[in-house]
Structures are given as C-alpha cells and as structure tokens.
C-alpha cells in the first residue's frame, strides 16, 4: 500500500513541482537557524533517565551566510544535557519544520499536514577539532553572531553531523526516500506554495481514494478541500509573555501558545537511535488563557514511524522552542532578538509515556482542544487510524534564563496558569 501510493503520487508531484525533494530538504537546512536535536540521554537528574530519549532546541548552521553545504554544524556546551549526551553517544537526529521558517508558519496549512515540509536527519553528531572545527566555527558564527561573546568557561565545543538516514515529508503518500548523495548534490530550493494543503489524503490511503485524489489534482490543480483558517496564528502579542522569573507561568504560556513541537522516540526503524518528528499540539479549547489545561494532546497514527515507535516504547519527549511560537516568528522579533540557543530564549522538554486515550471524557477534551486549534484535523482521513494521545509527562526540562536552573517541578507546572 505504501509503495503503491508513493508510486501513484510520484507522477503528480513531478508534474506539479519544480523543486526536487532533495532541494527542498536542503532549503529547510539552509533556512533554519535552530532545530530539535534528539539524543540518547546520558542520565540527567530530574530531567531524563540514562538510556531514554531526550531532545532540545539548539542552533544549527550549514555554512557561512549566503552559502550552504548541507553539513549541519552545532555549538554546544558540555554543561548542557544535549552536549553531554552527544559526548557519550553521538547518535542523534536533527528535526526541522517548515513552520518554523516563516511568520505565517505554513500559512493555512497545519504544521502536522504532510504538505508542511518536515525533515529529520539521523546519524552521528560528533565533536570536531582542528580544521573541521574552524569550518564549524565560521559557519556557526556567521549565522549566530551572538555565539562569539558566549562565555569561554562553559565548555562549548563544535560538532558536525554525519548523516546516515533522511526522513522527509512534504506531500501526501508517505515519507520520501532521499539518498545521502542526492541530498548533498542538490541546490537548496523552496517548495512551491501551490502544493500546500491541497487535500486530506495521506499515507496509507486506500487505492481508490489515492487514484481519485491524483486524478483530481491532475485535472483541477486547484484547492480540493477548502483551506481551513489556522486560528492558532492569531497568537498573543509577544509583550504578553510572562516574565522569566515566573518560570512555571512561562512554561504554561509556551505550551498554550505553541501550535507544534517535536516528539522524540526510541526509533524502531533506526534500530534504537533517537528520532524526532513534528507534531501539532493543543492544551485546551481555543486560545483563551482560561481554557488552557496544560495537558499535551496529540492526534497520531500508527502508520507514522513515531506511532510505531510508541507502540514498542511509549517513553518519549515533546520539545518546544520559544523561537517557534507564532507570536515570535517575525524574524526581527524571533525570541525578542535573542539567538535561539540563548538561555533566555525559552525551551521546554517534557518526558514520559505517550498514552493512547481510551476514556470517552479524555477523548472528548483532546478532540475539542486539537480540532479548535487545528481545524484541518477534523477532515483528515478516517481510514488512517488516527487516535487521540496524551503525553503523561513525569519530568520537565525548562530553560528561560542564565544560571543553569533547568528543571521544573511537574506540580508547579500544573499549579500555574499561562
């Protein structure tokens, strides 16, 4: 079924797109200033258990400004959990969503919709020295000038990723298979806006509906399903952000404002390596603060690799960077002008089991919350085994200031309001 739908869609995609999959993947890497980095935890008190998956938002760069190599460079501190994890075990993944690049996100397209491009590169992210470190430094400092003045006593070091697998989705019909060679040979190119949100058919769709969808794309080339307004983009003004010392309040505000984040799992298809993937989230009905519950609701399917990973091991993380909040996306005010890896640009990671909701009252709350923030979900294909999930987190990593205070008590989170 998967191969079949990929095949059928291939024709439609080629006839309608200019940019190749590899070019779009390279464009995401070139444009993104930060990404969710998923690692295997080296064990961090109050944050994550040794051997479990962990993720955090960090700066990335693939070259000096104006150029792009496709090679991902990072600059991490050994005092930071991600840096510490990678020094012990370099296996990691780098996840980027098209929704993080533009003030209008993916426009009218939901971040979890396949046509909002998502990329996860998996492989080894290793410390580099010598001339490679010089290249990494030039790349990082060019796109993240603030790093030049970061403290020298925090054990910062440069890293380079060696890519082993590419997970890329920018259209219906399942993940695209991009070879490493094609990825590095491609020239970065933005995807054509015309392909966005054209239908609700997705991976695993029945043959009849796949055929009829392809037919309608080819014959109409027009909106098949009317785009739903993404009300989530009517986000609060940045000025409404709680102050940093109200840590639990900032955390609740971030969760309530977020439209998406990265769920990281221990991957089945990557033989136990960490894998991050983009998912839409909602914590309450609409954007009114009084409707925020702080709970993390998701709409997922086991046709997706993340859904498959969760069946094997429900322990996962959900990560949000303040830099990705719709209210913060205008480039000039991205995190109030702060670098995405600056501790004052808040980041949160929840760890715990992802639970498939079975009680009707839980399903009702999850459904009302998700569908109010992500109206397109209501028309996603019913044949795709989507169900409502909640992350029942047991620990919270949270950073919103200098000083190394990076945990948040779960009870304080529940007691706060956005």
Ligand X SMILES: *[C@@H]1O[C@H](CO)[C@@H](O)[C@H](O)[C@H]1NC(C)=O
285 or 401: CB nearest ligand X: 285
For CA atoms 134, 84, 59, 31, give the dihedral sign. Answer: positive
By CB under 6 A, residue 356 contacts ligand X: yes
In whole angstroms, give the CA distance from residue 62 to residue 140: 8
173 or 343: CB nearest ligand X: 173
Provide, rounded to whole angstroms, the least separation between the CB of residue 8 and ligand X: 15
State the Rg of the chain over Cα.
20
144 or 196: CB nearest ligand X: 196
203 or 400: CB nearest ligand X: 203
Provide, rounded to whole angstroms, the least separation between the CB of residue 385 and ligand X: 7
229: left (phi over 0), alpha (psi -120 to 50) or beta: beta
State both tokens at 260.
């998406």
Helix (H) / strand (E) element for 141: namely helix 130-143
**Residue with the shortest CB distance to ligand X:** 286
237 touches 255 (CB < 8 A): no
In whole angstroms, give the CA distance from residue 47 to residue 43: 8
Q: How far apart are the first and last CA of the chain?
A: 44
154 or 367: CB nearest ligand X: 367
* Residues 140 to 199 in contact with ligand X, rule: CB under 6 A: 177, 179, 193
| Stretch of 14-22, 79-87, 100-108, 275-283 contacting ligand X, by CB under 6 A | 100-108
Binding mask 362-401 for ligand X (x = CB under 6 A): -------------------------x--------------
In whole angstroms, give the CA distance from residue 404 to residue 105: 31
CB neighbourhood size of 78 (10 A): 13
* Residues 233 to 292 in contact with ligand X, rule: CB under 6 A: 285-286, 288, 291
Q: State which of residues 126, 155, 313, 407 lies at the interface with ligand X (CB under 6 A).
A: 313
* Residues 194 to 233 in contact with ligand X, rule: CB under 6 A: none
* DSSP string computed for 326-355: GGG-SGGGGGGG--TTSTTS-EEEEEEEEE
Give me the residues that bind ligand X (CB under 6 A), please: 49, 101-102, 104, 107, 177, 179, 193, 285-286, 288, 291, 302, 313, 315, 356, 358, 387
């Amino acid at each position: 079924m998967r191969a079949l739908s990929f095949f059928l869609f291939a024709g439609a995609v080629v006839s309608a797109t200019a940019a190749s999959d590899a070019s779009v993947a390279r464009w995401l890497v070139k444009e993104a200033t930060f990404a969710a980095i998923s690692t295997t935890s080296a064990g961090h008190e109050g944050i994550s258990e040794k051997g479990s998956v962990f993720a955090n938002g960090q700066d990335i760069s693939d070259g000096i400004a104006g150029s792009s190599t496709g090679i991902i460079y990072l600059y991490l501190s050994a005092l930071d959990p991600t840096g510490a994890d990678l020094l012990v075990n370099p296996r990691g993944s780098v996840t980027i969503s098209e929704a993080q690049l533009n003030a209008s996100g993916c426009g009218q397209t939901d971040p979890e919709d396949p046509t909002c491009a998502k990329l996860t590169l998996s492989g080894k992210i290793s410390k580099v020295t010598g001339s490679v470190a010089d290249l990494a430094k030039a790349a990082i400092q060019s796109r993240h000038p603030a790093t030049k003045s970061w403290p020298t006593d925090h054990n910062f070091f440069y890293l380079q990723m060696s890519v082993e697998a590419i997970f890329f989705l920018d259209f219906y019909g399942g993940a695209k298979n991009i070879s490493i060679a094609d990825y590095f040979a491609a020239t970065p190119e933005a995807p054509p806006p015309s392909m966005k949100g054209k239908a609700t058919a997705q991976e695993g769709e029945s043959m009849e509906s796949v055929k009829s969808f392809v037919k309608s794309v080819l014959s109409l080339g027009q909106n098949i399903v009317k785009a739903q307004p993404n009300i989530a983009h009517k986000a609060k003004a940045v000025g409404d952000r709680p102050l940093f010392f109200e840590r639990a309040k900032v955390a609740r505000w971030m969760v309530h404002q977020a439209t998406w984040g990265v769920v990281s799992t221990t991957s089945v298809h990557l033989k136990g390596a960490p894998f991050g993937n983009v998912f839409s989230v909602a914590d309450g009905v609409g954007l009114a603060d009084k409707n925020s519950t702080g709970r993390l609701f998701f709409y997922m399917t086991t046709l997706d690799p993340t859904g498959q990973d969760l069946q094997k091991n429900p322990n996962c993380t959900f990560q949000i960077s303040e830099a990705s909040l719709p209210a913060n996306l205008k480039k000039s005010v991205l995190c109030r002008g702060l670098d995405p890896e600056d501790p004052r640009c808040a980041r949160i990671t929840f760890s715990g089991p992802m639970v498939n909701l079975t009680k009707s009252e839980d399903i009702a709350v999850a459904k009302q919350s998700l569908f109010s923030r992500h109206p397109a979900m209501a028309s996603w294909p019913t044949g795709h085994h989507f169900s409502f999930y909640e992350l029942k987190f047991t620990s919270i990593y949270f950073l919103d200031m200098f000083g190394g205070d990076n945990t948040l008590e779960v009870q304080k989170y529940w007691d706060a309001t956005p």
